[in-house]
Every structure is written in C-alpha cells, then in structure tokens.
Structure 1
Amino acid sequence: MKYRSVIFDLDETLAESKQPMSEKMAGVFALLLSRVPVAVISGGKFSIMLAHVANRLPEGTATDNLYILPTCGAALYEYKNESWHAVYEETLSDIDMEVIERGIERAVTKTELIDLRTPSHGERIERRGSQVTLSALGQTAPLSEKVLWDPERTKRTLLHATLSEELPQFSVKTGGTTSFDITKPGIDKAYGVTKFSEHVGIPVSEMLYVGDALFPGGNDAVVIETGISTYAVTRPDETYSLIEELLTT
C-alpha cells in the first residue's frame, strides 16, 4: 500500500453525521486495519467514538491497530491488552470550562443566532473534558434539521468570529453543520495528527488524511500544515470507494 497509515475524520466521512459506521463501511474499515495503523479523529467525545467506530467492527478485527483521537485531537487512545488506554489527554480545568461557558453565552447573545432559553435537542453546551462544545440545535438534533440551520455557512462564520473575540485565550473551531469546539490554544486536528505520528513512529509524510472539510475554513483544513497527504470526500460512500482502492494497491 502507498501509505503506511491512514487517518479519517468521522462525521460525513466514515459515517453520516452523529451516526455509527454502517455494517458495509465497518467491513472494509476492518480490512484496512489488518494492513496498517488507522486513526479516527473527531470533535466528539471518546464514548461516542467507541460506539460509532470501534464497537461496530466485526469480531476478530485487529483493534490494536486502531487509534481514536476524540475532541479534535485533544486526546489519543489505543487498544492494548484487551482494553482502551489514554496515551495523552489535554484536559480543561473547571475554571477554564466556566470561562468558556460565559464566553459562549456572551457570543450567542451578541449575535442573536441562538436563544439558549428555548427548547433544544439535548444539551447545547457540553463539557467534554478536553473541550467545550456548543451545538446550535442541541447535541442530538436530527440531521434533517441541522442541514437547514446554516446552508450558506453565514451563521457559522459570524458565530466563529464572535466566539474567537470573546475567548481569545482559547482555540475555537467549527465542528460541523451546527457545532463549535473550544479547546486550549494549539489543540486541533493538526496537533492530533502530529502526536499520532510521533506515537506510532510513522512520519506524517507517509500518512494519508481523509476528511469532508479540507476546504479553507473547514475543520479538517488545519491538518494540511503538517504536510500530510490529504483526500477530500463529501459523503461516506466516497470514503468506502477510497478504502476499497487503497486495499488493492
């Protein structure tokens, strides 16, 4: 195979937004794991990534070749001795999370794009240990509603700028169609790619990154600065075809 390791984004790359990998995808993903170390990086928390990726794999899969980077690369987990272990985890303090929450409240009030008093699909502001996530419609909002919230990306652009102004001491990233991830400065997917490369001992130049948001301003675009080869997709079936192609080379 041309690449010694592959890193995937999760939502809209390996699976539909907030959904587990399909059985079909899990099958080819498992075959790839039998060939090279594979990492999955997402703004989601570790427990969700386990449910949507690791727990979907067929019995007998080489899980010790799977690495999970939740919360935009703020942590790295590996499977050793039949259990998951954190290689590192950049956590936020309680004070940091309180500061971030207040900044979010100021930003949504200033932009008038989200009314935190109205009903939502689950929590709008969620503490994830190494990041705080703002979800405009709530964590469990259906995809059909999320895609209609900001089709032109104007709301996300404005809210991202305002959050960055209110929280200059933190890193603000657009996480998806309706979400924003806030971490310590310098903690992003590029950081995760670099840390993963160091941990497995494979140069970034010999890895491939696959994601649906590699365009300027997209939440995958930051990985380009690492020098990693990239492949842009728009939906999971394109990723499936790519994995099939990789398996034949």
Structure 2
Amino acid sequence: MMITPWSEWDLDALCARLLLIGFDLDNTLANSKRPMSAAMAHRFSELTRRIDVAVITGGRYELVVSQILDVLEPTADLARLHLMPTSGTCYRRWKDGRWERVFSHDLNADQRARARASLERRAREQGLWVERVWGERIEDRGSQITFSVLGQQAPLEAKRSFDPDGTLKERLAAAVAVDLPDLKVHAGGYTSIDVAGQGIDKAFAVRELASITGVPVERMAFVGDRMEPGGNDYPAAQAGVRGVSVTCPADTLVLIDGLLERLPAPERSVRAGDR
C-alpha cells in the first residue's frame, strides 16, 4: 500500500503508469457541500479530456450534480467520467445523453429503519445528539444511511474542531455496529457515521471500477483529504491504488496542474452538443 502527500509524488513516474485517477469530493475537489471553484472546474474539465476520472464520495448523487456536474465546462469529456456517490454503493456513467445508473446497492426498508433507530439511540446514549445542528441530522441516501453529529450543512470549521482525533466518532460507530451485524458501519467524514451493505466502502468502489473498466488497480491513483488509517479515503489505498494525500482543494488544484503538464493533450475537442 502506497500513500504519499501530493507534494512528494514524482509526477513524471506517476503519470507514466496512470490510466485512471479518482478523487474524493468534499474538501478535496470542493469545500464541503459547495460547488467546485471556477478554477477547479476548468482544470477538472480539462483533466477528463486527458484521462479517465472517477469521483468516489460519501455524499449522495444530488451533491455530485450540484458540486461537480453543474459547474463543468462544455469541453469536459463526460464519457471519461465515472461517478460513484454514497461511498461507491452507486455507479453512474454517461450514455446516450444521460447519466445512466450502472448499479445501486440499496438497503431495504427494514435495514434503513434499523440503521436510523440505532444511530439515534446510540448518539443519545453517548451525548452526541447535540442541541444545535446545521441541516438534516440523519440522511437516507437509499444505499447508505448517514448520521452527521452537527448536521449535514455544518461549517467545516465546526466539523474539524468537534472531534479532532476521531475518538467520539469511532466510539459511536462501534456501538452502532453491535446493533447492525448484517451491515457495514464506519466513520465517514469529520463528524459522520455511514451505514451501508457489508463489504461496501471506497475499496469496494475501486475494485468495481477495475472490474468494469479493465484498468488494473495498480494503474490507478486516488486523491483524498482523509487518507490516514481510519479516514474514509483510506480504504481506496488499501485496495491497491496509489494514494495521494491532500489537505484541501488548493492542494488538489496544484496537483491537477502538474498532471495536466504531463498527461498527453487530447486529440479531439468535445463539443457541448456531444454532452
């Protein structure tokens, strides 16, 4: 397993073997729940013309639309874009002028109800059902139930300062896992817990990408801000991709600039009408 900070990578060596690059979304491509900046949208759009690009995020598909798709430039090559929201439990590709769902591993009604009940009960027991929240506290994403201690729309500064070493989040995840032995419970973002089907995380997403695209995992890279053990991007590196650690979208912007300098320029333009 190889995880290296973005500034320490030999980009010439990386690009020489790279056939697909994946990105986390929040705090990697864009600030939490916010659209990509104009500068990022430009670089990201250009990157899709050079290489296959995957977005693997714990967020729901609607956030992928508002944070990425809605701000892409007309020149982006959508056919080379792989969208894997809710930690890879769902996979969409551009086909015949629309984003077609290739698969979605949805939880059934009983699993969703038990997940919601356990998350609330255990959070109350542990004093994590806090009085002030920003937005929805428990979100049903179909293939994933996500509990956010401070709410889905909490500001990044509040998230980072609430549980800096992850102790509270890990304790909550462990308690919920006892209630839901048939499901996978894991710490997600800074203050969130995700519940999905067994064996489904970003490692699962990477392996599915390799199987469907034919690109070996060792010829992929994944860029994320939570690449440390216990972070929600760490499983991607465990699957065998080259892990690239960033701290914020500004790091990712500089990284993509380096990739664009080294990856071959596209041979054709993608017209808006082709989208």
Q: Which TM-score applies when normalising by structure 2?
A: 0.86
In the other structure, the counterpart of 1:128 is 141
Matched, 1:222 2:204: no
Deviation at 1:60, TM superposition (A): 2.3
Equivalent position to 1:32, from 44, 47, 65:
47
Distance 2:197 2:46 in 1: 35
Report the secondary structure of 1:208's partner residue.
strand
Instruction: After TM superposition, give the deviation of residue 26 of structure 1 in Å.
Output: 0.9
Which residue of structure 1 lines up, in the alignment, with residue 261 of structure 2? 248
Q: Note the residue ranges of structure 2 that are not aligned, 5 or more in a row.
A: 1-14, 263-275
1:154 matched residue in structure 2 = 167
The CA deviation string for residues 35-60 of structure 1, in whole angstroms up to 9 with x for no partner, is 11100011111011111011111122
Residue type at the aligned position of 1:30: S
1:107 and 1:166 in contact (8 A); partners too: no
The aligned residue for residue 96 of structure 2 is 81
Greater RCO (Cα-Cα under 8 Å, separation 6 or more): 2
Letter in 2 for 1:199: I
Give me the CA root mean square deviation: 1.3
What SS does the corresponding residue of 2:123 show, helix, strand or coil? helix
Q: Which amino acid aligns with 1:76?
A: Y
Aligned to 1:173: 186
2:63 matched residue in structure 1? 48
Select which of 32, 49, 55 maps to 1:17.
32
2:185 maps to 1:183? no
1:103 counterpart = 2:118: yes
Aligned pairs for 1:189-200 (under 5 A) are 189-200=202-213
Letter in 2 for 1:227: G
Q: Is the 8 A contact 1:197 1:204 kept in 2?
A: yes
1:192-214: per-residue Cα shift (whole Å, max 9, x none)?
11111222221111111111111
Look up the equivalent residue of 2:242 and give its one-letter code: S
Deviation at 1:120, TM superposition (A): 2.7
Task: Return 96-105 or 153-162, whichever deviates more.
Answer: 153-162
Q: Which secondary structure state, in structure 2, belongs to the residue aligned with residue 248 of structure 1?
A: helix
Q: Identity, % of aligned pairs?
A: 38
- 171-180 vs 31-40, which deviates more? 171-180
In the TM superposition, residue 146 of structure 1 has moved relative to its aligned partner by 2.1
Letter in 2 for 1:121: W
Which one is further off, 102-111 or 132-141?
A: 102-111
**Alpha-carbon distance, 1:119 to partner:** 4.9
Equivalent position amino acid for 2:202 in 1 = K
Equivalent pair of 2:89/2:104 in contact (CA under 8 Å): yes
1:60 to 56, 59, 75: 75
Q: What secondary structure is seen at the aligned counterpart in 2 of 1:210?
A: strand
Residue equivalent to 2:19: 4
Q: Letter of the 1:40 partner, please give it.
A: V
The aligned residue for residue 114 of structure 1 is 129
In 2, Cα distance between equivalents of 1:11 and 1:179: 13
Tell me which stretches of 4 or more aligned residues in structure 1 moved more than 4 Å. Answer: none
What TM-score does the superposition give when structure 1 sets the normalisation length?
0.95
CA shift, 1:182, in A, is: 0.6
